[in-house]
């Protein structure tokens, strides 16, 4: 897997032999499927490859193939659930598999047993592809457009791009980050999006974004502008992991850094509902108790623990945390219900 998915093309390929081309694409699909399946993303498991024939798992029930996502009639709650799964999938593809799908849409995802399976990964590229970030922005646009039509309060394309590429988002803060950005999306309506913001989004889709600092054309010029607060047209901070003013590495997501200040300002301006505060306190207490229990479970380990048993123990704790998150009501959903309740009382 050390070779890139594009390395077989470094000596060119035969354009006059369709069978050789099909074989090449089958090999590429096999490599990408292996990498994606090993990362835990739902996809057909590859079985074997012989010449231009690729055998993989069948996704379906009783011989009937699973439908494409575009052909499914989804409820509002299921659409929100699948949207979160999709954006997690794109981020895992980017950071764990080091791949960008490059053609991700409702036409290349299967809906099976309430989950989304990604297919058609032969055209997926690695980060060092010259058009990698263009493909990623296209994938983000396709996902946003599809789920927005389903009535989901989606992130903007730029917000989703930043979520996927932000290197400061970790397993410890990803839930807090998503709660914050989803809360922003719930409180934002289409009327709040100005024409200038729409133009800026279109510009962002087609703008050149350096993948590394080596690709930055004039860093000194950008640094000087950043010191004066002119960072609107500097687009590579999130991808490269730099601070907004380019003075060093960003240690924490920018949205989470400003979240405390925003919450304090909101508390000063509005009086919170007591029932909501009580429920949040109970929820935080339960979360703290679960964190303490998880820490205790991690600390109570045998002195001569083998690597395999350590891995199994950590996996068990992660699964318990995942099950608790499934039953937890997101904060942005709570606030949306609270907002709807207040508007109903006023009317």
Catalytic residue numbers, as ranges: 103, 120
Element (H, E) at 111: strand 109-112
The CA–CA distances, whole Å, from 290 to 144, 219, 318, 321, 346 equal 34, 46, 12, 8, 39
Other beta carbons within 10 angstroms of residue 205's beta carbon come to 15
Residues 159/143, Cβ–Cβ less than 8 Å: no
Sign of CA dihedral 40, 41, 45, 48: negative
Q: Is 27 exposed, middle or buried (0-12, 13-18, 19+ CB in 10 A)?
A: middle
Going by C-alpha positions, the residue among 116, 249, 258 that lies closest to residue 177 is 258
Structure tokens at 41: 């993303």
Compute the distance between CA of residue 60 and CA of residue 67 in angstroms, rounded to an integer.
Answer: 8
Going by C-alpha positions, the residue among 188, 184, 190 that lies closest to residue 330 is 184
The CA–CA distances, whole Å, from 289 to 192, 295, 312 equal 40, 10, 22
Element (H, E) at 112: strand 109-112
Other beta carbons within 10 angstroms of residue 239's beta carbon come to 20
Sign of CA dihedral 262, 264, 265, 270: positive
Write down how long the chain is: 347
Token look-up 């729409």 returns 198
Strand 46-50 with 53-56, pairing: antiparallel
Q: Is 97 exposed, middle or buried (0-12, 13-18, 19+ CB in 10 A)?
A: buried
Element (H, E) at 48: strand 46-50
């Amino acid at each position: 897997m050390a070779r890139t998915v594009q390395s077989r093309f470094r000596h060119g390929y035969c354009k006059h032999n369709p069978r050789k081309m099909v074989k090449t694409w089958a090999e590429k699909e096999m490599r990408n499927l292996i990498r994606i399946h090993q990362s835990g993303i739902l996809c057909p498991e590859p079985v074997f490859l012989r010449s231009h024939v690729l055998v993989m798992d069948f996704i379906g029930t009783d011989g009937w193939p699973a439908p494409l996502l575009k052909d499914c009639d989804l409820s509002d709650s299921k659409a929100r659930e699948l949207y979160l799964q999709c954006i997690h999938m794109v981020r895992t593809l980017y950071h764990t598999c080091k791949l960008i799908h490059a053609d991700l849409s409702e036409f290349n995802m299967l809906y099976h047993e309430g989950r989304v399976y990604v297919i058609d990964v032969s055209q997926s590229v690695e980060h060092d592809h010259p058009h990698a970030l263009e493909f990623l922005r296209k994938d983000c646009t396709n996902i946003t457009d599809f789920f927005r039509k389903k009535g989901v309060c989606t992130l903007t394309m730029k917000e989703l791009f930043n979520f996927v590429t932000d290197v400061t988002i970790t397993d410890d803060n990803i839930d807090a980050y998503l709660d914050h950005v989803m809360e922003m999306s719930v409180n934002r309506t289409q009327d709040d999006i100005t024409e200038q913001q729409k133009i800026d989004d279109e510009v962002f889709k087609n703008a050149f974004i350096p993948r590394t600092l080596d690709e930055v054309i004039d860093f000194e010029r950008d640094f000087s502008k950043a010191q004066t607060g002119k960072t609107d047209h500097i687009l590579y901070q999130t991808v490269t992991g730099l601070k907004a003013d380019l003075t060093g590495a960003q240690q924490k997501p920018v949205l989470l850094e400003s979240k405390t200040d925003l919450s304090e300002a909101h508390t000063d301006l509005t009086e919170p509902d007591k029932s909501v505060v009580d429920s949040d306190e109970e929820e935080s207490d339960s979360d703290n108790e679960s964190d303490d229990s998880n820490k205790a479970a991690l600390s109570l380990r045998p002195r001569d623990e083998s690597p395999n048993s350590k891995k199994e123990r950590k996996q068990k704790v992660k699964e318990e945390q995942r099950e608790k998150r499934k039953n937890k009501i997101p904060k942005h959903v709570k606030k949306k219900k609270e907002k709807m309740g207040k508007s109903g009382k006023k009317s």
